[in-house]
A and B are shown apart, each in its own frame.
Chain A
Amino acid sequence: MFINWKLRELNLKIVYYGPALSGKTTNLQYIYARTNPKLRSELVSLKTQEDRTIFFDFLQLELGEIKGLKPKFNLYTVPGQVMYEATRRLVLQGADGVVFVVDSQMNRLADNIHAFKMMHRHLLGLGLDPQRMPCVVQFNKRDLPNPAPIPVLQRLFVSDSTPWFESVATEGVGVFETLKAAIGLVVSMAQQQL
Protein backbone atom coordinates (compact mmCIF):
# COMPACT_ATOMS: atom_id res chain seq x y z
CA MET A 1 0.00 0.00 0.00
CA PHE A 2 1.23 3.46 -0.84
CA ILE A 3 -0.44 6.63 0.30
CA ASN A 4 0.60 10.05 -0.88
CA TRP A 5 -1.18 12.61 1.26
CA LYS A 6 -0.06 15.47 -0.92
CA LEU A 7 -1.83 14.02 -3.94
CA ARG A 8 -4.35 12.24 -1.69
CA GLU A 9 -3.74 9.00 -3.50
CA LEU A 10 -4.31 5.52 -2.15
CA ASN A 11 -2.36 3.04 -4.24
CA LEU A 12 -2.96 -0.71 -3.96
CA LYS A 13 -1.48 -3.69 -5.82
CA ILE A 14 -3.45 -6.80 -6.72
CA VAL A 15 -1.72 -9.75 -8.38
CA TYR A 16 -3.49 -12.43 -10.44
CA TYR A 17 -1.64 -15.69 -9.78
CA GLY A 18 -2.28 -19.18 -11.11
CA PRO A 19 -0.97 -21.98 -13.31
CA ALA A 20 -0.18 -21.56 -17.00
CA LEU A 21 -3.16 -20.88 -19.27
CA SER A 22 -5.62 -20.59 -16.38
CA GLY A 23 -6.92 -17.25 -17.72
CA LYS A 24 -5.07 -14.56 -15.74
CA THR A 25 -4.35 -12.38 -18.77
CA THR A 26 -7.88 -12.96 -20.06
CA ASN A 27 -9.23 -11.50 -16.81
CA LEU A 28 -7.22 -8.32 -17.29
CA GLN A 29 -8.11 -8.10 -20.97
CA TYR A 30 -11.80 -8.27 -20.15
CA ILE A 31 -11.49 -5.66 -17.40
CA TYR A 32 -9.58 -3.42 -19.79
CA ALA A 33 -12.15 -3.84 -22.55
CA ARG A 34 -15.13 -3.14 -20.33
CA THR A 35 -13.87 -0.30 -18.15
CA ASN A 36 -14.42 3.37 -18.85
CA PRO A 37 -11.26 4.39 -20.78
CA LYS A 38 -10.92 7.54 -18.69
CA LEU A 39 -10.44 5.44 -15.59
CA ARG A 40 -7.84 2.99 -16.78
CA SER A 41 -4.27 2.97 -18.04
CA GLU A 42 -3.23 1.13 -21.16
CA LEU A 43 -2.92 -2.62 -20.76
CA VAL A 44 0.74 -3.50 -20.89
CA SER A 45 1.46 -7.12 -21.77
CA LEU A 46 5.00 -8.38 -21.86
CA LYS A 47 4.65 -11.54 -23.85
CA THR A 48 6.53 -13.96 -26.07
CA GLN A 49 5.98 -14.36 -29.79
CA GLU A 50 3.63 -17.22 -28.95
CA ASP A 51 1.44 -14.76 -27.05
CA ARG A 52 2.37 -16.16 -23.65
CA THR A 53 3.10 -13.84 -20.75
CA ILE A 54 6.85 -13.61 -20.18
CA PHE A 55 7.01 -11.05 -17.39
CA PHE A 56 3.64 -9.59 -16.44
CA ASP A 57 0.53 -7.82 -17.63
CA PHE A 58 -0.24 -4.51 -16.02
CA LEU A 59 -3.37 -2.43 -15.82
CA GLN A 60 -4.13 0.50 -13.55
CA LEU A 61 -7.64 1.51 -12.55
CA GLU A 62 -7.97 5.01 -11.24
CA LEU A 63 -11.30 5.86 -9.67
CA GLY A 64 -12.73 9.27 -8.99
CA GLU A 65 -12.22 10.96 -5.65
CA ILE A 66 -13.96 9.22 -2.78
CA LYS A 67 -14.14 11.09 0.51
CA GLY A 68 -11.10 13.15 -0.44
CA LEU A 69 -8.99 10.19 -1.53
CA LYS A 70 -8.17 8.99 -5.03
CA PRO A 71 -7.95 5.19 -5.04
CA LYS A 72 -5.70 3.59 -7.65
CA PHE A 73 -5.53 -0.14 -8.20
CA ASN A 74 -2.54 -1.67 -9.93
CA LEU A 75 -3.47 -5.02 -11.39
CA TYR A 76 -0.74 -7.45 -12.37
CA THR A 77 -0.63 -10.99 -13.67
CA VAL A 78 2.26 -13.37 -13.25
CA PRO A 79 3.58 -15.55 -16.10
CA GLY A 80 2.12 -19.02 -15.55
CA GLN A 81 4.67 -21.21 -17.28
CA VAL A 82 6.85 -23.29 -14.97
CA MET A 83 10.14 -21.81 -16.22
CA TYR A 84 9.15 -18.31 -15.06
CA GLU A 85 9.19 -19.21 -11.38
CA ALA A 86 11.63 -16.42 -10.46
CA THR A 87 9.55 -13.85 -12.33
CA ARG A 88 6.39 -14.86 -10.50
CA ARG A 89 8.12 -14.16 -7.23
CA LEU A 90 9.22 -10.71 -8.41
CA VAL A 91 5.75 -9.70 -9.49
CA LEU A 92 4.29 -10.76 -6.13
CA GLN A 93 6.58 -8.28 -4.41
CA GLY A 94 4.59 -5.60 -2.61
CA ALA A 95 1.24 -7.23 -3.36
CA ASP A 96 -1.61 -6.00 -1.19
CA GLY A 97 -3.86 -8.81 -2.34
CA VAL A 98 -3.97 -11.78 -4.70
CA VAL A 99 -6.50 -13.40 -6.98
CA PHE A 100 -5.75 -17.08 -7.45
CA VAL A 101 -7.09 -18.19 -10.84
CA VAL A 102 -7.83 -21.91 -10.93
CA ASP A 103 -8.14 -23.81 -14.22
CA SER A 104 -11.20 -25.94 -13.45
CA GLN A 105 -10.40 -28.72 -15.89
CA MET A 106 -9.91 -32.02 -14.13
CA ASN A 107 -6.61 -32.68 -15.89
CA ARG A 108 -5.19 -29.37 -14.62
CA LEU A 109 -5.87 -30.11 -10.97
CA ALA A 110 -2.28 -31.05 -10.24
CA ASP A 111 -0.98 -27.85 -11.87
CA ASN A 112 -3.37 -25.78 -9.78
CA ILE A 113 -2.21 -27.44 -6.59
CA HIS A 114 1.42 -26.92 -7.52
CA ALA A 115 0.86 -23.24 -8.34
CA PHE A 116 -1.05 -22.69 -5.11
CA LYS A 117 1.78 -24.19 -3.09
CA MET A 118 4.34 -22.11 -4.96
CA MET A 119 2.39 -18.92 -4.36
CA HIS A 120 2.37 -19.72 -0.67
CA ARG A 121 6.10 -20.34 -0.75
CA HIS A 122 6.83 -17.15 -2.68
CA LEU A 123 4.80 -15.03 -0.28
CA LEU A 124 6.71 -16.49 2.64
CA GLY A 125 9.98 -15.90 0.79
CA LEU A 126 9.07 -12.25 0.34
CA GLY A 127 8.38 -11.89 4.04
CA LEU A 128 4.62 -11.67 3.49
CA ASP A 129 2.24 -13.66 5.62
CA PRO A 130 0.14 -15.91 3.36
CA GLN A 131 -2.35 -16.54 6.15
CA ARG A 132 -3.16 -12.86 6.31
CA MET A 133 -2.88 -11.93 2.64
CA PRO A 134 -6.25 -10.87 1.21
CA CYS A 135 -7.06 -13.58 -1.31
CA VAL A 136 -9.92 -14.25 -3.70
CA VAL A 137 -10.13 -17.53 -5.58
CA GLN A 138 -11.60 -17.76 -9.06
CA PHE A 139 -12.63 -21.13 -10.51
CA ASN A 140 -12.21 -20.35 -14.18
CA LYS A 141 -13.12 -22.22 -17.36
CA ARG A 142 -16.34 -23.61 -15.93
CA ASP A 143 -17.67 -23.88 -19.48
CA LEU A 144 -15.13 -26.47 -20.59
CA PRO A 145 -15.93 -30.19 -20.53
CA ASN A 146 -15.04 -32.24 -17.49
CA PRO A 147 -14.60 -29.48 -14.91
CA ALA A 148 -13.55 -30.54 -11.42
CA PRO A 149 -16.53 -30.47 -9.02
CA ILE A 150 -16.80 -27.22 -7.08
CA PRO A 151 -16.69 -28.96 -3.67
CA VAL A 152 -13.34 -30.49 -4.64
CA LEU A 153 -11.93 -27.11 -5.65
CA GLN A 154 -13.35 -25.48 -2.55
CA ARG A 155 -11.69 -27.98 -0.27
CA LEU A 156 -8.38 -27.59 -2.08
CA PHE A 157 -8.10 -23.83 -2.47
CA VAL A 158 -10.60 -22.07 -0.26
CA SER A 159 -10.59 -21.49 3.46
CA ASP A 160 -13.69 -20.60 5.46
CA SER A 161 -13.61 -16.90 4.79
CA THR A 162 -12.09 -16.80 1.30
CA PRO A 163 -14.45 -15.41 -1.30
CA TRP A 164 -14.57 -17.57 -4.43
CA PHE A 165 -16.25 -17.23 -7.78
CA GLU A 166 -17.02 -19.43 -10.72
CA SER A 167 -15.99 -17.83 -13.98
CA VAL A 168 -15.72 -18.05 -17.72
CA ALA A 169 -13.19 -15.27 -18.22
CA THR A 170 -13.35 -15.42 -22.01
CA GLU A 171 -16.98 -14.34 -21.76
CA GLY A 172 -16.48 -12.08 -18.78
CA VAL A 173 -18.55 -14.27 -16.45
CA GLY A 174 -17.35 -13.76 -12.88
CA VAL A 175 -14.52 -11.39 -13.85
CA PHE A 176 -15.81 -8.18 -12.26
CA GLU A 177 -17.24 -10.04 -9.28
CA THR A 178 -13.77 -11.42 -8.59
CA LEU A 179 -12.11 -8.04 -9.00
CA LYS A 180 -14.67 -6.27 -6.84
CA ALA A 181 -14.21 -8.83 -4.07
CA ALA A 182 -10.42 -8.45 -4.27
CA ILE A 183 -10.65 -4.66 -4.16
CA GLY A 184 -13.07 -4.90 -1.24
CA LEU A 185 -10.61 -7.06 0.69
CA VAL A 186 -7.54 -4.90 0.07
CA VAL A 187 -9.43 -1.73 0.96
CA SER A 188 -10.72 -3.25 4.15
CA MET A 189 -7.15 -4.28 4.92
CA ALA A 190 -5.96 -0.73 4.23
CA GLN A 191 -8.65 0.47 6.59
CA GLN A 192 -7.28 -1.76 9.35
CA GLN A 193 -3.72 -0.65 8.71
CA LEU A 194 -4.34 3.07 8.95
Chain B
Amino acid sequence: MTDRLQTKEPSPSLADQALEAGIQAARTGQKKFARQLLLKVTELDPMREEAWLWLSWVAESPEEALAYLQTVLALNPDNRQAQEGIRWLQNRPSPEKDRGSGGEHEPSLAVAPTAGPPGAEMEPLPVMSPSGELAPTLVLSVEQAEAIDRCLDSIAANSGAHCIILADVAGRLIAERGHTSGMNTQVLSALAAGELVATHELARLVGEPARFRLLLNEGENHNVYLSDVGEQLILIIVFDTKTPIGMVRLLLKEAVKELMPILMQSPPTTSETTIDGAIDRDFAQLLESELDASFQSVKD
Protein backbone atom coordinates (compact mmCIF):
# COMPACT_ATOMS: atom_id res chain seq x y z
CA MET B 1 0.00 0.00 0.00
CA THR B 2 2.99 2.27 0.57
CA ASP B 3 3.45 2.93 -3.15
CA ARG B 4 -0.02 4.44 -3.09
CA LEU B 5 0.91 6.96 -0.47
CA GLN B 6 1.54 10.47 -1.48
CA THR B 7 5.21 11.39 -1.54
CA LYS B 8 5.20 14.34 -3.91
CA GLU B 9 6.53 17.55 -2.47
CA PRO B 10 5.66 20.98 -3.83
CA SER B 11 8.28 22.59 -6.08
CA PRO B 12 7.74 26.28 -5.46
CA SER B 13 10.52 27.52 -7.71
CA LEU B 14 9.38 25.46 -10.68
CA ALA B 15 5.78 26.49 -10.05
CA ASP B 16 6.89 30.14 -9.87
CA GLN B 17 8.69 29.89 -13.17
CA ALA B 18 5.81 28.12 -14.89
CA LEU B 19 3.35 30.66 -13.49
CA GLU B 20 5.42 33.60 -14.72
CA ALA B 21 5.81 32.04 -18.17
CA GLY B 22 2.12 31.14 -18.24
CA ILE B 23 1.05 34.68 -17.42
CA GLN B 24 3.44 36.03 -20.04
CA ALA B 25 2.02 33.65 -22.66
CA ALA B 26 -1.55 34.58 -21.71
CA ARG B 27 -0.77 38.26 -22.02
CA THR B 28 0.75 37.82 -25.46
CA GLY B 29 -2.26 35.85 -26.68
CA GLN B 30 -0.64 32.39 -26.77
CA LYS B 31 -3.63 30.85 -25.05
CA LYS B 32 -2.89 27.18 -25.69
CA PHE B 33 0.68 27.44 -24.43
CA ALA B 34 -0.44 29.52 -21.47
CA ARG B 35 -3.02 26.90 -20.61
CA GLN B 36 -0.43 24.12 -20.63
CA LEU B 37 1.90 26.08 -18.39
CA LEU B 38 -0.80 27.14 -15.97
CA LEU B 39 -2.20 23.62 -15.69
CA LYS B 40 1.32 22.53 -14.85
CA VAL B 41 1.39 25.12 -12.07
CA THR B 42 -1.85 23.75 -10.61
CA GLU B 43 -0.36 20.28 -10.68
CA LEU B 44 2.73 21.48 -8.84
CA ASP B 45 0.79 23.66 -6.45
CA PRO B 46 -3.00 23.52 -6.65
CA MET B 47 -3.34 26.06 -3.88
CA ARG B 48 -2.21 28.91 -6.15
CA GLU B 49 -5.25 31.06 -6.68
CA GLU B 50 -3.44 33.09 -9.28
CA ALA B 51 -2.83 30.11 -11.55
CA TRP B 52 -6.53 29.17 -11.43
CA LEU B 53 -7.48 32.81 -12.11
CA TRP B 54 -5.26 33.03 -15.18
CA LEU B 55 -6.52 29.65 -16.33
CA SER B 56 -10.02 31.10 -16.40
CA TRP B 57 -8.66 33.77 -18.77
CA VAL B 58 -7.30 31.18 -21.23
CA ALA B 59 -9.99 28.52 -20.74
CA GLU B 60 -11.41 26.89 -23.85
CA SER B 61 -15.04 27.41 -22.89
CA PRO B 62 -17.04 29.57 -20.49
CA GLU B 63 -17.96 26.42 -18.53
CA GLU B 64 -14.30 25.62 -18.03
CA ALA B 65 -13.59 29.24 -17.06
CA LEU B 66 -16.40 29.06 -14.52
CA ALA B 67 -14.97 25.88 -13.01
CA TYR B 68 -11.57 27.55 -12.58
CA LEU B 69 -13.08 30.64 -11.00
CA GLN B 70 -15.15 28.51 -8.64
CA THR B 71 -11.99 26.69 -7.64
CA VAL B 72 -10.45 30.06 -6.75
CA LEU B 73 -13.48 30.85 -4.62
CA ALA B 74 -13.37 27.45 -2.94
CA LEU B 75 -9.77 28.19 -1.96
CA ASN B 76 -10.51 31.75 -1.00
CA PRO B 77 -14.16 32.85 -0.81
CA ASP B 78 -13.05 36.51 -0.57
CA ASN B 79 -11.23 36.62 -3.89
CA ARG B 80 -12.85 39.66 -5.51
CA GLN B 81 -11.63 38.96 -9.03
CA ALA B 82 -13.10 35.48 -9.02
CA GLN B 83 -16.38 36.83 -7.65
CA GLU B 84 -16.53 39.43 -10.40
CA GLY B 85 -15.53 36.91 -13.05
CA ILE B 86 -18.28 34.52 -12.04
CA ARG B 87 -20.82 37.32 -11.98
CA TRP B 88 -19.72 38.39 -15.44
CA LEU B 89 -19.87 34.85 -16.84
CA GLN B 90 -23.28 34.26 -15.35
CA ASN B 91 -24.70 37.55 -16.62
CA ARG B 92 -23.53 37.17 -20.18
CA PRO B 93 -26.46 38.07 -22.43
CA SER B 94 -26.35 34.99 -24.66
CA PRO B 95 -24.21 31.88 -24.82
CA GLU B 96 -24.37 32.05 -28.63
CA LYS B 97 -21.81 34.83 -28.53
CA ASP B 98 -19.14 32.41 -27.36
CA ARG B 99 -19.44 30.26 -30.41
CA GLY B 100 -19.34 33.27 -32.70
CA SER B 101 -15.57 33.73 -32.89
CA GLY B 102 -13.96 30.33 -33.19
CA GLY B 103 -15.28 29.05 -29.86
CA GLU B 104 -13.01 31.17 -27.72
CA HIS B 105 -14.55 33.39 -25.13
CA GLU B 106 -13.26 36.78 -24.12
CA PRO B 107 -13.85 37.65 -20.50
CA SER B 108 -14.27 41.29 -19.63
CA LEU B 109 -11.22 43.19 -18.50
CA ALA B 110 -12.65 43.25 -15.01
CA VAL B 111 -11.93 39.53 -14.77
CA ALA B 112 -8.33 39.66 -15.90
CA PRO B 113 -6.15 38.77 -12.96
CA THR B 114 -3.49 41.10 -11.72
CA ALA B 115 -0.01 39.81 -11.23
CA GLY B 116 0.04 40.22 -7.47
CA PRO B 117 1.75 37.83 -5.06
CA PRO B 118 0.16 34.40 -5.41
CA GLY B 119 -1.90 32.96 -2.62
CA ALA B 120 -1.54 35.94 -0.33
CA GLU B 121 -4.97 35.51 1.27
CA MET B 122 -5.24 31.83 0.79
CA GLU B 123 -6.71 29.68 3.48
CA PRO B 124 -4.90 26.34 3.52
CA LEU B 125 -6.95 23.22 3.03
CA PRO B 126 -7.20 21.01 6.06
CA VAL B 127 -4.85 18.08 6.17
CA MET B 128 -5.84 14.70 7.55
CA SER B 129 -3.58 11.96 8.71
CA PRO B 130 -4.15 8.71 10.52
CA SER B 131 -2.77 8.65 14.05
CA GLY B 132 -3.99 9.28 17.58
CA GLU B 133 -7.22 9.06 19.49
CA LEU B 134 -10.66 9.99 18.24
CA ALA B 135 -14.38 9.43 18.77
CA PRO B 136 -15.37 8.47 22.31
CA THR B 137 -14.83 4.79 22.96
CA LEU B 138 -17.54 2.84 24.70
CA VAL B 139 -16.34 -0.34 26.33
CA LEU B 140 -18.76 -2.57 28.20
CA SER B 141 -17.42 -5.22 30.55
CA VAL B 142 -19.16 -8.57 30.84
CA GLU B 143 -20.57 -7.41 34.19
CA GLN B 144 -21.90 -4.16 32.71
CA ALA B 145 -23.46 -5.93 29.74
CA GLU B 146 -25.17 -8.39 32.07
CA ALA B 147 -26.45 -5.62 34.34
CA ILE B 148 -27.86 -3.78 31.31
CA ASP B 149 -29.60 -6.97 30.13
CA ARG B 150 -31.15 -7.45 33.58
CA CYS B 151 -32.38 -3.87 33.61
CA LEU B 152 -33.89 -4.14 30.13
CA ASP B 153 -35.49 -7.49 31.03
CA SER B 154 -37.17 -5.95 34.01
CA ILE B 155 -38.61 -3.07 31.95
CA ALA B 156 -39.82 -5.53 29.33
CA ALA B 157 -41.52 -7.66 31.98
CA ASN B 158 -43.15 -4.69 33.73
CA SER B 159 -44.31 -2.88 30.63
CA GLY B 160 -45.26 -5.77 28.39
CA ALA B 161 -43.07 -4.14 25.73
CA HIS B 162 -42.50 -6.07 22.55
CA CYS B 163 -38.80 -5.38 22.75
CA ILE B 164 -36.27 -2.96 24.16
CA ILE B 165 -33.07 -1.86 22.49
CA LEU B 166 -30.17 0.19 23.77
CA ALA B 167 -28.13 1.98 21.10
CA ASP B 168 -25.71 4.89 20.97
CA VAL B 169 -26.05 8.20 19.14
CA ALA B 170 -23.69 6.94 16.46
CA GLY B 171 -26.30 4.27 15.65
CA ARG B 172 -24.58 1.27 17.17
CA LEU B 173 -26.64 -1.48 18.75
CA ILE B 174 -25.54 -2.08 22.34
CA ALA B 175 -28.12 -4.42 23.82
CA GLU B 176 -31.46 -5.89 22.81
CA ARG B 177 -34.05 -7.77 24.86
CA GLY B 178 -37.53 -9.11 24.19
CA HIS B 179 -38.93 -10.37 20.92
CA THR B 180 -36.41 -9.23 18.39
CA SER B 181 -36.15 -12.31 16.21
CA GLY B 182 -36.95 -11.45 12.63
CA MET B 183 -36.34 -7.80 13.37
CA ASN B 184 -33.15 -6.21 12.05
CA THR B 185 -32.19 -4.50 15.28
CA GLN B 186 -28.90 -3.21 13.90
CA VAL B 187 -30.62 -1.26 11.15
CA LEU B 188 -33.32 -0.24 13.61
CA SER B 189 -30.65 1.22 15.92
CA ALA B 190 -29.07 3.18 13.07
CA LEU B 191 -32.43 4.63 12.05
CA ALA B 192 -33.56 5.39 15.60
CA ALA B 193 -30.29 7.16 16.35
CA GLY B 194 -30.65 9.20 13.18
CA GLU B 195 -34.20 10.09 14.10
CA LEU B 196 -33.52 11.12 17.67
CA VAL B 197 -30.34 13.00 16.85
CA ALA B 198 -32.24 14.83 14.13
CA THR B 199 -34.70 16.06 16.75
CA HIS B 200 -31.77 17.46 18.74
CA GLU B 201 -30.86 19.49 15.69
CA LEU B 202 -34.50 20.44 15.22
CA ALA B 203 -34.60 21.73 18.80
CA ARG B 204 -31.54 23.82 18.12
CA LEU B 205 -33.03 25.27 14.94
CA VAL B 206 -36.26 26.37 16.61
CA GLY B 207 -34.27 27.96 19.42
CA GLU B 208 -35.16 25.41 22.09
CA PRO B 209 -32.43 25.62 24.72
CA ALA B 210 -32.86 22.01 25.90
CA ARG B 211 -32.69 18.98 23.62
CA PHE B 212 -35.86 17.15 22.64
CA ARG B 213 -35.26 13.99 24.63
CA LEU B 214 -38.26 11.90 23.68
CA LEU B 215 -39.79 10.85 20.44
CA LEU B 216 -42.93 8.80 19.93
CA ASN B 217 -43.79 7.07 16.67
CA GLU B 218 -47.41 5.93 16.68
CA GLY B 219 -48.61 3.13 14.43
CA GLU B 220 -51.73 1.01 14.11
CA ASN B 221 -50.32 -2.02 15.92
CA HIS B 222 -47.03 -0.83 17.35
CA ASN B 223 -45.68 2.31 18.90
CA VAL B 224 -41.98 3.06 19.10
CA TYR B 225 -40.67 5.24 21.86
CA LEU B 226 -37.20 6.77 21.67
CA SER B 227 -35.44 8.42 24.56
CA ASP B 228 -32.02 9.79 25.40
CA VAL B 229 -30.03 8.01 28.08
CA GLY B 230 -27.41 10.56 29.03
CA GLU B 231 -25.59 12.27 26.18
CA GLN B 232 -24.44 9.25 24.22
CA LEU B 233 -27.11 6.56 24.45
CA ILE B 234 -30.63 5.94 23.21
CA LEU B 235 -33.32 3.63 24.50
CA ILE B 236 -35.81 2.26 21.99
CA ILE B 237 -39.01 0.62 23.22
CA VAL B 238 -41.37 -1.12 20.83
CA PHE B 239 -44.78 -1.79 22.39
CA ASP B 240 -48.29 -2.49 21.19
CA THR B 241 -50.83 0.26 20.96
CA LYS B 242 -52.87 -1.09 23.88
CA THR B 243 -50.11 -0.26 26.37
CA PRO B 244 -50.78 3.15 27.91
CA ILE B 245 -48.10 5.59 26.81
CA GLY B 246 -48.00 7.17 30.26
CA MET B 247 -46.87 3.89 31.75
CA VAL B 248 -44.15 3.42 29.18
CA ARG B 249 -42.92 6.91 29.82
CA LEU B 250 -42.78 6.27 33.56
CA LEU B 251 -40.92 2.98 33.14
CA LEU B 252 -38.56 4.63 30.74
CA LYS B 253 -37.66 7.31 33.24
CA GLU B 254 -36.95 4.66 35.84
CA ALA B 255 -34.90 2.66 33.36
CA VAL B 256 -32.76 5.68 32.55
CA LYS B 257 -32.14 6.18 36.27
CA GLU B 258 -31.14 2.55 36.61
CA LEU B 259 -29.00 2.40 33.49
CA MET B 260 -26.93 5.50 34.15
CA PRO B 261 -24.96 4.14 37.15
CA ILE B 262 -24.23 0.93 35.24
CA LEU B 263 -22.87 2.86 32.30
CA MET B 264 -20.87 5.22 34.50
CA GLN B 265 -18.84 2.37 35.94
CA SER B 266 -15.27 2.37 34.82
CA PRO B 267 -14.62 0.10 31.88
CA PRO B 268 -13.29 -3.44 32.03
CA THR B 269 -10.32 -4.55 33.98
CA THR B 270 -8.57 -7.87 34.43
CA SER B 271 -10.85 -10.37 32.73
CA GLU B 272 -10.57 -8.56 29.42
CA THR B 273 -6.92 -7.76 29.37
CA THR B 274 -6.16 -11.04 27.63
CA ILE B 275 -8.58 -10.07 24.85
CA ASP B 276 -7.02 -6.62 24.57
CA GLY B 277 -4.00 -8.37 23.19
CA ALA B 278 -6.17 -9.94 20.51
CA ILE B 279 -6.12 -6.79 18.39
CA ASP B 280 -2.53 -6.98 17.29
CA ARG B 281 -0.71 -7.20 13.98
CA ASP B 282 -1.91 -10.76 13.60
CA PHE B 283 -5.47 -9.57 14.02
CA ALA B 284 -5.08 -7.02 11.23
CA GLN B 285 -3.71 -9.66 8.87
CA LEU B 286 -6.42 -12.16 9.73
CA LEU B 287 -8.99 -9.43 9.27
CA GLU B 288 -7.64 -8.66 5.82
CA SER B 289 -7.89 -12.28 4.70
CA GLU B 290 -11.38 -12.46 6.19
CA LEU B 291 -12.37 -9.37 4.20
CA ASP B 292 -10.89 -10.76 0.99
CA ALA B 293 -12.79 -13.99 1.53
CA SER B 294 -16.08 -12.22 2.17
CA PHE B 295 -15.72 -10.10 -0.97
CA GLN B 296 -14.61 -12.94 -3.19
CA SER B 297 -17.20 -15.40 -2.00
CA VAL B 298 -19.88 -14.04 -4.27
CA LYS B 299 -17.68 -13.59 -7.31
CA ASP B 300 -18.35 -15.94 -10.17
With contact pairs A5-B141, A132-B131, A162-B128 given, residues A187 and B71 touching in the complex (Cβ less than 8 Å): no
- The residue that A5 contacts in the complex, of B5, B125, B128, B275, with Cβ under 8 A, is B275
- The residue that B194 contacts in the complex, of A10, A90, A120, with Cβ under 8 A, is A90
Give, as a whole number of angstroms, the nearest-CB distance from A24 to chain B. 16
The answer on a CB contact under 8 Å between A128 and B67 is: no
The answer on a CB contact under 8 Å between B141 and A69 is: no
Is B132 an interface residue when CB atoms closer than 8 A count as contact? yes
**Which stretch of B43-51, B88-96, B154-162, B212-220 is in the interface?**
B43-51
The answer for the CA separation of A69 and B272 in the assembled complex, in Å, is 11
Q: Which residues of A sit under 8 angstroms from B286, Cβ to Cβ?
A: 66-67
Q: How many residues of A contact B (CB 8 A)?
A: 96
Is B113 an interface residue when CB atoms closer than 8 A count as contact? no
Q: Which residues of B sit under 8 angstroms from A26, Cβ to Cβ?
A: none
Q: Which residues of A sit under 8 angstroms from B14, Cβ to Cβ?
A: none
Q: Which residues of B sit under 8 angstroms from A117, Cβ to Cβ?
A: 74, 125-126
The answer on a CB contact under 8 Å between B142 and A6 is: yes
The answer on a CB contact under 8 Å between A4 and B174 is: yes
Is A101 an interface residue when CB atoms closer than 8 A count as contact? no
Q: Which residues of A sit under 8 angstroms from B291, Cβ to Cβ?
A: 63, 176, 179-180, 183
The residues in B between 19 and 42 inclusive whose CB is less than 8 angstroms from any CB of A are: 39, 42
* Interface size classification for chain B: 35 or more
Is A131 an interface residue when CB atoms closer than 8 A count as contact? yes
The answer on a CB contact under 8 Å between B187 and A135 is: no
**Which stretch of B241-249, B252-260, B292-300 is in the interface?**
B292-300
Q: Which residues of A sit under 8 angstroms from B287, Cβ to Cβ?
A: 63, 66, 71, 183-184, 187
Is B284 an interface residue when CB atoms closer than 8 A count as contact? yes
Chain A, residues 129-167, CB within 8 Å of chain B (1/0): the string is 111111100000000000001011011111111111100
Interface centre among A39, A86, A100, A155 (most CB of B within 10 A): A155
With contact pairs A55-B194, A109-B74, A191-B284 given, residues A86 and B201 touching in the complex (Cβ less than 8 Å): yes
**Which residue of the partner chain B has the closest CB to A3?**
B139
Q: Which residues of B sit under 8 angstroms from A89, Cβ to Cβ?
A: 201
**Which residue of the partner chain A has the closest CB to B202?**
A86
The answer on a CB contact under 8 Å between B133 and A192 is: yes
- The residue that A163 contacts in the complex, of B4, B46, B197, with Cβ under 8 A, is B4
Chain B, residues 64-94, CB within 8 Å of chain A (1/0): the string is 1011001101110000000000000000000
The answer on a CB contact under 8 Å between B171 and A155 is: no
The answer on a CB contact under 8 Å between A155 and B8 is: yes
Is B13 an interface residue when CB atoms closer than 8 A count as contact? no
**Which residue of the partner chain B has the closest CB to A190?**
B279
Give, as a whole number of angstroms, the nearest-CB distance from B153 to chain A. 14
Q: Which residues of A sit under 8 angstroms from B265, Cβ to Cβ?
A: none
**Which residue of the partner chain B has the closest CB to A146?**
B64
The answer on a CB contact under 8 Å between B187 and A69 is: no
Give, as a whole number of angstroms, the nearest-CB distance from B190 to chain A. 5
With contact pairs A4-B140, A158-B6 given, residues A91 and B46 touching in the complex (Cβ less than 8 Å): no
- The residue that B186 contacts in the complex, of A41, A120, A130, A162, with Cβ under 8 A, is A41
The residues in A between 92 and 126 inclusive whose CB is less than 8 angstroms from any CB of B are: 93-96, 98, 100, 106-114, 116-117, 120
- The residue that A35 contacts in the complex, of B175, B288, B294, with Cβ under 8 A, is B294
A-B contact pairs, 6 of them (CB 8 A): A36-B293, A107-B67, A111-B74, A133-B130, A135-B130, A160-B7
B residues whose Cβ falls under 8 Å from a Cβ of A: 1, 4-8, 10, 39, 42-47, 63-64, 66-67, 70-71, 73-75, 125-142, 145-146, 168-175, 184, 186-187, 190-191, 194, 197-198, 201, 205, 268, 271-272, 275-276, 278-280, 282-284, 286-288, 290-291, 293-295, 297-299
9 A-B pairs besides A4-B174, A36-B293, A74-B170 with CB distance below 8 A are: A67-B278, A67-B279, A67-B280, A69-B279, A110-B71, A135-B130, A156-B46, A161-B130, A162-B130
